[in-house]
Amino acid sequence: MKKLLILLMAAMFLVACSSKTSAVSNGEFTFTEDEFKEAYEKTNDRNIPKNISAYDTMLRIEFADKEEVLRFLKAANQITGYKEIDRLRKSIDEDESNIQNVISNDDISIVYDDRFDDEYAITIYPEGDKFGKEDK
């Protein structure tokens, strides 16, 4: 009986550990604007700047310098956990020259624009909302 109970508890633990909560559901982010603001301020130890927009269908920073973009991506990665966001942050931080303008996975699309050497714009869309794309 003890072995059965231990086996059952182990199975429940494995199920709980393997279930991942996605930051996107039905083409919208699962966090609120206030939750993103809180994540930004906690992660970066500063108030969220006015050039950042956070909606259920989009995260955006525009007219930003490199440090502002790095802080934005750090907060976006903190609240979503998507490796593509962290990889973009590292690429910008290391001044890589071959960064793609659109980066996607099954849940999100990131549009990256650095047309000007000292000014960036980044928009992160939930996949269902990508460029007006219909839900699958």
pLDDT for the residue numbered 35:
94
pTM here is: 0.78
pLDDT for the residue numbered 85:
96
> What would the pLDDT profile of 45-92 be if each residue is shown by its tens digit?
999 999 999 998 999 999 999 999 999 999 999 999 999 999 999 999
Task: Show me where the domains of the chain are located.
Answer: 28-132
10 Å CB burial of residue 115 (0-12, 13-18, 19+) is exposed
